[in-house]
Amino acid sequence: MSKSLVVLSGGQDSTTCLYWALKHFDEVRALSFRYGQRHVKEVEIARQLCEEAGVPWECMDISFISQLSPSCSLTNPSLDIEAEKREGDPYPTTFVPGRNLFFISVAAIYARNHGIYDVITGVGQADFSGYPDCRDGFIKSLNTTLNLAMDEQFRLHTPLMWLDKQQTWALADELGVLDTIRYRTLTCYNGIVGDGCGHCPSCKLRREGLEKYLEQTPSNSPSMGRKTP
């Protein structure tokens, strides 16, 4: 029996990966994290989605990450969440240094304890927000490191690595969960579920991809008949 673990935030990308995993593996578990993020609501969304999908779910507290990232607007509520970059800093203010390094490393240890060696994460570099830990090179490097560190043969899966947001929406539609992803997930930097606030960088990227997908969707697609944004 094939088994996998999904690193689940409750956002568009990781939730799409959850349903991708359900299609490709016999048994799926999900792991979420509280890391001092300003919108813990996403964790509750992840729990609800897993409960409805019949997926075993757990959440771990690794909030020390927020103490390491005082200049990140996702972990410091006093900072402007919509400021794209700070002066002299090449990365967005929403970049949490080491987040995916910690998430995937902890997930791999958790997976090993459950006899799971396939770990799935929703990172992607084709249409990302400038985060270096979303790149393919990082994932491949970390995969090698985890195998060396635990003398195992983990496989890190990144179904969205080379998909832009339009293609990610297409995948959600193909999996039959476009409405779930659109209306039930939390991607918005301002903490608004579904279509979000509409003006933060994350919402803009998500909305542009959805509009492009719906514009090119043929009349026989399962997404037709839904209202456009």
pLDDT in tens, 25-49: 999 999 999 999 988 899 999 999 9
Q: Find the range with the poorest average confidence among 21-30, 64-73, 83-92, 215-224.
A: 215-224
Confidence of residue 81 (pLDDT cuts 50, 70, 90): confident
Average pLDDT over residues 59-85: 85
Does 7 map to a domain?
Answer: yes
For residue 210, pLDDT beyond 90 = yes
* Per-residue pLDDT tens digits for 2-19: 999 999 999 999 999 999
Q: Is the pLDDT of residue 167 over 70?
A: yes
pLDDT of 54 over the 60 cut: yes
Q: What CATH number is associated with residue 210?
A: 3.40.50.620
3-class SS string, the chain? CCEEEEECCCCHHHHHHHHHHHHHCCEEEEEEEECCCCCCHHHHHHHHHHHHHCCCEEEEECCHHHHHCCCCCCCCCCCCCCCCECCCCCCECCCCCCHHHHHHHHHHHHHHHCCCCEEECCCCCCCCCCCHHHCHHHHHHHHHHHHHHHCCCCEEECCCCCCCHHHHHHHHHHCCCHHHHHHHCCCCCCCCCCCCCCCCHHHHHHHHHHHHHHHHCCCCCCCCCCCCC
- pLDDT tens digits along 110-157: 999 999 999 999 999 976 667 899 999 999 999 999 999 999 999 999
- What pLDDT was estimated at residue 92? 83
pLDDT band per the 50, 70, 90 thresholds, residue 87: low
Query: Looking at the predicted structure, is the pLDDT value of residue 83 above 80?
Result: no
Query: Is residue 90 one of the residues assigned to a domain?
Result: yes
Structural domain boundaries, residue 150: 3-216
Model pLDDT, residue 194: 97
**Residue 95 domain flag:** yes
The count of domains in the chain is 1
Q: In this predicted structure, what is the pLDDT of residue 201?
A: 87
Q: Within a domain: residue 226?
A: no
